[in-house]
Amino acid sequence: GAVVSQHPSRVICKSGTSVKIECRSLDFQATTMFWYRQFPKKSLMLMATSNEGSKATYEQGVEKDKFLINHASLTLSTLTVTSAHPEDSSFYICSAAPTREEQYFGPGTRLTVL
């Protein structure tokens, strides 16, 4: 149980394009999903908290217009990196929380912007 999927697992795109990453909880409902970013050899940095049916809460320093988050249902949240640039290249990981204190991580999406 408690499986979270992310799609795509890897994406390469040109600078200026937008990329959408999906996060799904496969066997449970998650009122809250989290989006993290991880740079090479660094820890996870929380970008935003996504609550179903309401606007996401972004961490300080994260541009909400750059990283659009939509939590359309209890099993799906999407992160769209708009007008991607090479500095957006990173490993993006989502997690889904069936309760406030449990988090289950997706396998991550490696984004490379050329």
Partner 1 sequence: EDKVVQSPLSLVVHEGDTVTLNCSYEVTNFRSLLWYKQEKKAPTFLFMLTSSGIEKKSGRLSSILDKKELFSILNITATQTGDSAIYLCAVFTSGTYKYIFGTGTRLKVLA
Summarize as ranges the residues that interact with partner 1 (CB under 8 A).
Answer: 32, 34, 36, 41-46, 49, 93, 100-101, 103-108
Q: How far is the CB of 14 from partner 1 (least distance, A)?
A: 25
Kindly tell me which of 67 and 104 has the beta carbon lying closer to partner 1. Answer: 104
Q: 20 or 91: whose CB is closer to partner 1?
A: 91
10 versus 85: smaller Cβ distance to partner 1: 10
Which residue blocks in the chain are alpha helix, DSSP H? none
Q: Which residues contact 29 (CB under 8 A, 6 or more apart)?
A: 74, 75, 98
> Can you read off the two tokens belonging to residue 51?
């609550």
105, 5 contact by CB (below 8 A): no
Closest to partner 1 by CB, 14 vs 60, is 60
Block residue for tokens 């290249």? 89
**3-state secondary structure at position 87:** helix
Closest distance to partner 1 from the beta carbon of 13 (Å): 21
Cis, bond preceding 8 (omega within 30 deg of 0): yes
Give me the least distance between CB of 16 and partner 1, in Å please.
28
State the minimum distance, in angstroms, from the CB of residue 34 to partner 1.
7
